[in-house]
Structure 1
Amino acid sequence: MTGYELTRNWFDFSFANPDKVKPRHTALYLFSADLCNRLGWKRKFGIPTVSTMEAVGIGNYNTYKNTLNDLIEWGFIELITKSKNQHSANVIALCKSAEANNKALDKAIMNHSRSSVDIIKPQTNKTLNHKKISEIEISEVPIVDLVIYKYGIELRKVILDNASQKNIPIKKVEDAKYKNWLEPLRFMLQKDKISEKHLKDIINYLRNPSSEFWRKTILSTTVLRKNSSQILSEINSSKKTNVGKITTNDSLTSRLESYE
């Protein structure tokens, strides 16, 4: 079963059941298909709960669980092993639901193609690349870009806040294009092997008033990528210093208590 067959089958079902299907169902099923593809179309594979929720834009665990259960009930996903909690992964397999019927959608498409109504072309990466990232809705973003897009938007907000506090011109940040803003972050995660946790640490560090030099220096994702190793080194040093302070304070406290 190919990815084309899976998605065609899904949209046949979705078209025939508008009362059942919500955007979150489509997002979760397509993400599952994309993950299966990345894993070489394994028959059974784990789908990590937290990462999946973040990728498809579901913030509530119960909503995620209900969405997954719907896809299982409708026959699009087979649950092999249930996760113990929201921090572990379900093991699933993708299925071609027998409930899907392509006649209704095929007929609607044929009728539409005969009409004189102009067809609006869907957004593609090529058209997104040249749009300002501030003008793009999350619904336009391809599923494979959702995680990087969310980090990019969060980082852009931090940089704009820092620049406004330092009276630094922010036009380049405001005019940043989709590709130019997200590509350095993609390279950080994929080529530089910087983890999502490290990227989150960097963003949080740029919020910290104590990192004054970097707050006025990092004004683009390109500059961030060039300096990411140095920033992470400072973060690690800061953590070690704080641990040392805590240890020293605890030792001093225990000695003072011994005199009481």
Structure 2
Amino acid sequence: MNEQCASAMEEKAVKAILFDMDNTLIETSRANGVAIQKTSELLKTTLTLDDNTISSICDKFKQKLYHESFDPSAGRTIDEVRVGHWEESIQEAVGSCSPPSLGAQCYYLWKNSRLEFLCLSPEICNLLRQLRSRYKLLLLTNGETQTQREKIKAVRCEEFFDAIVVGGEYAEQKPFVSIFTLCFNMLQVKAQDCIVVGDSLDTDIEGGFNAKVRATVWISSAGGAVPDGSVKPDYTIPTVLDLPDILQQLK
């Protein structure tokens, strides 16, 4: 092989992988379900309510969580805000007759149950070890700083990555190009050296596309088609464990 061909191959080689965390490396959705179930049981033993009302309280909490807009400069911690979500959800469903501490009990049971469930499977740990021997790895996760850092600590994933970036610690999160540029600079690579792996078309895949990475890999556990109008990933796989097959194609 002449030097020119070798140089061209080197330029096309993948050097770094940017991983999303939630529902890509860890099963956050399942953990959420376990945590909600345990909190439902607490509500059931504390309040004399039917199952539909208990479900309504939990659904209200999930909606508040989904639409949450946290401002750390407002003087409240994320824990205080989420205790408030439970308090409001209970009050909206049953009025003010519940014990005053119930919202806090619900929140900390939900939070701790979720963290206890989260883990990196042995298979994913092995995958990350193998990949780290050949590529630079970076964890890029959106979300509020305390919440995401607690998850990172709970699953003990620091050892697998050259760097960890939590979107809530910066002015812009995925899909903004700025946070991807930050990642490239941290790893000392170019966008074309990287692939982005994640479960969200709107943040991971859109962000990788905007940042002009080498390839985007969508984790679609349900195997669903890409919705009309959405950015199209370069590759779609049902689990991150299939990533080696994609990397083989990118050689």
TM-score under structure 1 length normalisation: 0.23
Give the structure, 1 or 2, with the largest relative contact order (CA under 8 Å, sep 6 or more). Answer: 2
Normalized per residue, the structure richer in strand is 2
TM-score under structure 2 length normalisation: 0.23
